[in-house]
Structure 1
Amino acid sequence: MLYAILSACLAADPQSCQPIVLTGQSFGDPDRCAAESARIAPLWAGDDPGLVADDPRCAPLADLPALPVERIAEGVYVHLGQAVQYEDSPDGRIANLGFVVGRDSIAVIDAGTSRQQGQALFAAIRRISDKPISHLIVTHMHPDHAFGAGVFREAGATIVGHEQLTDALRVRGPAYLDNLTRLYGPAPMIGTRIVLPDAKVADTMTVDLGGRTLTLTAAGPAHTDNDVTVRDSATGTLFAGDLIFRDLTPIVDGSLPGWLGWMDIPQDAGPVVPGHGPVARDWDTAVSAQRQFLAALDRATRDGIAAGLPLSRAVPVIVRSLQPFADLWASFPESAARDATAAFKELEWE
């Protein structure tokens, strides 16, 4: 099968171009593919005066860059991201992404940090199956999980997320995109757009892929205020998003007590796919290290508040108390300070 590809460049810098794979349709006929890519090329950039899209061409699936993926259970595949924070990554591909293949269709869980990464995930999926991609489930608002979503909307997927995800992306999305552009440069982010969900999970939702269902469960404020987990009925695999970190220092962007409370309810699951770090064989393996770290953060923060320390003095004290964990977690110093600040601001008003 062939895919139409455009070259999208910044109008101000014609050398900063990225390939745009048109994922909505594949072609068996080279002439039709060429005609469609030529028709779409001048339309793709739409009203964006900063982009120029031209040089239409066609390429076989084998020529498209694809993310490495591994099968962790029957019909369940995972791409493992770099277990570091954005500042320590050369390209921002830090999150774990996955997909589940059913009898009738495919669901994708998280889409990566840019259109380019989303395209590479799409190519990896298509090398395994040509079934329709019916759903993209975005586990939460952070860009390493959400910003490749446009690729899958173009491929026909329904975008699903927590009922709070729309507001979170509207409020924070533009700043996230600006920050990524400053960090990695404008060229790698060409074509990356903020995509809002089509369907919202308030409590639970099921997605039928044919022969297997996925159960989506909305969490209360924890890692963020818009976390969703995904459990596959056929294998018990749990995609936890960033409700579970392994190897990479957990980041509190929602509620520390809420996160600890979420972990207190065991899940009958295995394997467990965290948002970052290696896949765990079971629930206890998945959450044990994170539980210890967040519980220590909670204790140290409450001690600082009880001692009457202001935020400016409490944060370094809390971080020092967490030093026994430093060698266990990547990107620790900056993340621990961020966590101490977030925890203090929340707990001082309890």
Structure 2
Amino acid sequence: MTLVGHPFPTVEACRAAAPRIASDWLKDHPALVRDALACTPAADLPALPVRQVADGVHVHLGPVAQFEDSPDGWIANLGFVIGPDSIAVIDAGASRAQGQALFAAIRRISDKPISHLVITHMHPDHAFGAEVFREAGAAILGHERLADALQGRGRTYLDNLTRLYGPGPMIGTRVVLPDKAVGGSLDIDLGGRVLSLTAAPPAHSDNDLTVLDRATGTLFAGDLVFRDLTPIVDGSLPGWLDWMAVPQDAGAIVPGHGPVAQNWDEAVSAQRDFLTALHRATREALDAGLPMSEGVPAIVDALAPLAGRWKSFPESVARDATAAFKELEWE
């Protein structure tokens, strides 16, 4: 564990206060015990690789893979924006360990206060490192439905990831709820640098939130945009298509997965083709009167020609076909 909320000017000052700080922290984490204690310069901590995509905008690009193909779940794109007075982080990673590594990456670039953490949606690869940034002093913001989603699914997500990766990679990870809910839109100010947060209707999930850096036009789209990794429908397929039908006024677009895009069409064209084909194939299965047991395989077969454009396609497309069938059969 790295306790990030207590910076010190010297190692000696840290050593004097560390036993009390660790003891207080452990009272709130009764499942953990202290074995050893050390004071470490932030520059020596393990850090995620990040790159600057615009002035003051830094991004960590996760590997293009689903959880099952990852050794630790560190698959999402994460980022942060440095303003004149403070820093906003966009998504916190899949575990406390990844949140700590993102914090260390930030500290290698800037020692400004971290004032905000924005969670783009409920999925654990984006949300489960949040406690690190709360300890660092950030207010946590999310969609108005995020808290309910995390309360309803968070424990199951955490149990599943612990079974998948083992307790080591997930140690200290807890489900953290947002401090502030965004229902429509909200601006946050980093000292003259404004980020605009916008809540989307149900699409990829029912609690998607985008972040626009007005200084550079960079849009953090979260999982409303997938590139290279097969999109996952966990909200509303028609809603997602409707969201994509209105181009975003943005410069560079940071997707939830895959490489940064330089314009709107580059960001969403492949995803639009995939989701449109999914919608069409699902409609055809329903119009043919197929039950779900036959309809889902028919949808998967219809989408097979797109497989070469997407990673983790066979597993994800069956899940998408099931979600789409369930939603559209009630139209």
TM-score by length of 2: 0.98
The unaligned stretches of length 5 or more in structure 2 are none
Deviation at 1:177, TM superposition (A): 0.1
Identity across the alignment (%):
71
Distance 1:140 1:154 in 2: 20
In the alignment, residue 41 of structure 1 is paired with which amino acid? A
Distance 2:30 2:141 in 1: 30
Q: Which residue of 2 aligns with 1:39?
A: 20
- Match for residue 258 of structure 2 among 270, 277, 283: 277
Q: Which residue of 2 aligns with 1:226?
A: 207
How far does the alpha carbon of each residue in 1:74-128 deviate from its partner, in whole angstroms, 9 at most, with x for none?
Answer: 0000000011100011111100000000001100000000000000000000111
Q: Which residue of 2 aligns with 1:110?
A: 91
Bigger CA drift: 34-43 or 166-175? Answer: 34-43
In the alignment, residue 262 of structure 1 is paired with which amino acid? W
Query: Is 1:191 aligned to residue 172 of structure 2?
Result: yes
Query: Is 1:53 aligned to residue 37 of structure 2?
Result: no
Query: Is 1:264 aligned to residue 242 of structure 2?
Result: no
Instruction: Output aligned runs, 1:1-350, within 5 Å.
Output: 20-46=1-27, 48-350=29-331
Q: State the Cα RMSD in Å.
A: 0.9
Deviation at 1:49, TM superposition (A): 4.5
Deviation at 1:50, TM superposition (A): 3.1
Native 8 Å contact 2:11 2:40 kept in 1: no
Bigger CA drift: 218-227 or 324-333? Answer: 324-333
SS in 2 for 1:33: helix
Distance 2:169 2:182 in 1: 31
Higher strand share: 1
Deviation at 1:167, TM superposition (A): 0.2
Moved over 4 A (4+): none
Native 8 Å contact 2:43 2:107 kept in 1: no
In the alignment, residue 110 of structure 1 is paired with which amino acid? D
Specify whether residues 88 and 26 from structure 1 end up closer, same or farther in structure 2 by C-alpha distance, changes over 3 A only. same
The unaligned stretches of length 5 or more in structure 1 are 1-19
Q: Which residue of 2 aligns with 1:16?
A: none
Distance 1:176 1:219 in 2: 23
How far does the alpha carbon of each residue in 1:317-347 deviate from its partner, in whole angstroms, 9 at most, with x for none?
Answer: 1001111111111111010000000000000
Native 8 Å contact 1:41 1:55 kept in 2: no
In the alignment, residue 52 of structure 1 is paired with which amino acid? V
Native 8 Å contact 1:42 1:54 kept in 2: no
How many residues were matched structurally? 331
Specify whether residues 152 and 48 from structure 1 end up closer, same or farther in structure 2 by C-alpha distance, changes over 3 A only. closer
